[in-house]
Amino acid sequence: MKRKKILWLCSWYPSKMDPFNGDFIQRQAIAAAIFNDIHVIHVTYDFPGEITTQKEDLVTTDNLTEQIIYFKKGKSVSSKLTDQLRWLSFYKRAIRKYIITAGKPDLVHVHIPIKAGILGLWIKRVYKIPYLITEHWGIYNDIIEDNFESRRYVFKKYTKRIFQNSSGLLSVSSYLIYGVQNILGKMISYVIPNVVNTDFFYLKEKENSDFRFTHVSNMVALKNPEGILNAFKKVIHQNNKAELIMIGDTDLSIRNYANSLKLPDGCLTFLGEITYEQVAVEMQKANCLILFSDIENSPCVIGEALCCGIPVIATNVGGIPELIDGDNGILIKPKDENALADSMQNILNGVYSFDQKKIAENAQSKFNYSVIGIKIDSVYTKTLKERTVN
């Protein structure tokens, strides 16, 4: 299999300021680099304001090169347009340098159309190189307030143009693909699941005696963490052998809400933001993952939990039904706290029987680096073959 040279332009990607921003994109880059030579470029503001002009981090591991460019953001209102132009200039400069040094890539892969897709349009026009788009942003629905239709004219105009000029749409769920096509029209599309690092997330014998429910998210309103706490309050009054671990909160509001419920001591723990590896350790200690979201695309945490053999209670929304069935979890209606409490209680009482080994084996065969790398490579191969034919 001949290795292809692919340039990734990423609107979201982990950086020194935000190591979790698009970490799922980074894992897909690692997967893609198993079979192809991947060069990632991501341009972002230096949020702490530590630099005066520009700084660059360039790291190459195996066949993946990650080029993160930082520049100082202006503080005045009038500098907003200037910052956008500087962002564009730094991106074009990095692309030109890459092409001069490494030669033209076989293909460009854009992650999140706004804003990196603007560079995809530019490369296609100037260098005649096609580009694919992976969309991760779940704005193509009427559930979230800040959705696609609520955006400004320029945002919608460029998003549509970027998609129309692409060679195909990739996403982690059919749900998001349908949302994009429902608004912007039909296009060639592929479902490529999120990657799970199965070196960290795998089935491990549990040492804790109490039944442990775990929730992992940033706990914004759409994740409905308050509803999880309300349901858990009902459960804990019936079974004091249960505990709930909440991972990922970044402010005190949800902890203050939990305090107002006056739950028994020791049954609830907040861990805040922890590393990817630490999440894996906590997953392996859990007996069940809970997601009670109003809307979702294809949550990474579900794949991670399943790779650990953990059944999942989740809402029947977005792309979640593509991941959960009767063999690995329970689907409930969003906002139905009674249904969540009943499902938690039924799992505690052994009403549902899940084969953890089977759950883990099935998930690991779907979400590991190599499998996802093969899927991405097949899209690259097909896209380039069609280009040759045309």
Is the model's pLDDT at 176 over the cut of 60?
yes
- Position 45 scores a pLDDT of 83
Q: What is the pLDDT of residue 390?
A: 55
CA atoms within 13 A on the CB side of 220: 6
- Tell me the percentage of the chain whose pLDDT exceeds 70: 97
Binning pLDDT at 50, 70 and 90, where does residue 206 land?
confident
Q: Mean pLDDT over residues 200-217, rounded?
A: 91
Contact 162, 132 (CB under 8 A): no
Residue 76 pLDDT exceeds 90: no
Note the pLDDT of residue 47: 65
Give pLDDT, residue 78: 74
Q: What pairing do the DSSP bridges indicate for beta strands 54-61 and 64-71?
A: antiparallel
Nearest to 38 by CA among 70, 71, 1, 10: 10
Q: Residue 283 burial by CB count (10 A; 0-12/13-18/19+): exposed, middle or buried?
A: buried
List the domains of the chain with CATH numbers. Answer: 5-195+368-389 (3.40.50.2000), 211-367 (3.40.50.2000)
Q: Which of 71, 3, 1, 80 lies closest to 39, judged by CA?
A: 3
Q: Cα separations (Å) of 236 from 84, 267, 301, 351?
A: 51, 8, 24, 17
Highest-scoring range by mean pLDDT, 79-83, 85-89, 119-123, 208-212: 119-123
d(CA 70, CA 128): 28
More confident residue, 124 or 80: 124
| pLDDT, tens only, 10-39 | 999 999 888 889 999 999 999 999 999 999
* Distance separating the N- and C-terminal Cα atoms of the chain: 22
Question: pLDDT band at residue 253, thresholds of 50, 70 and 90?
Answer: very high
Q: Among all chains, which residue has been given the structure tokens 């409930």?
A: 332
pLDDT tens across 304-338, in order? 999 999 999 999 999 999 999 999 999 999 999 99
**Mean predicted confidence (pLDDT) in 263-291:** 96
The stretch 95-120 carries a mean pLDDT of: 97
Peptide bond into 16 cis (omega under 30): no
Higher pLDDT, 99 or 350: 99
Tokens 């132009």 label which residue? 85
40 DSSP β-pair partners? 8, 66
The predicted model gives 210-231 an average pLDDT of: 96
Strands lying side by side in the sheet with 37-45: 54-61, 64-71, 37-45, 5-10, 107-111, 131-134, 169-171, 189-191
* pTM for the whole structure: 0.93
Q: What percent of the chain has pLDDT over 90?
A: 84
Res 46: pLDDT: 75
Q: Give 158: exposed, middle or buried? Use CB within 10 Å, 0-12, 13-18, 19+.
A: middle
3-state secondary structure the chain: CCCCEEEEEECCCCCCCCCCCCHHHHHHHHHHCCCCEEEEEEEEECCCCCCCCEEEEEEEECCEEEEEEEECCCCCCCHHHHHHHHHHHHHHHHHHHHHHHHCCCCEEEEECCCCCHHHHHHHHHHHCCCEEEECCCCCCCCCCCCCHHHCCHHHHHHHHHHHHCCCCEEECCHHHHHHHHHHHCCCCEEECCCCCCCCCCCCCCCCCCCEEEEEECCCCHHHCHHHHHHHHHHHHCCCCCEEEEEECCCCCHHHHHHHHCCCCCCCEEEEECCCHHHHHHHHHHCCEEEECCCCCCCCHHHHHHHHCCCCEEEECCCCHHHCCCCCCEEEECCCCHHHHHHHHHHHHCCCCCCCHHHHHHHHHHHHCHHHHHHHHHHHHHHHHHHHHHC
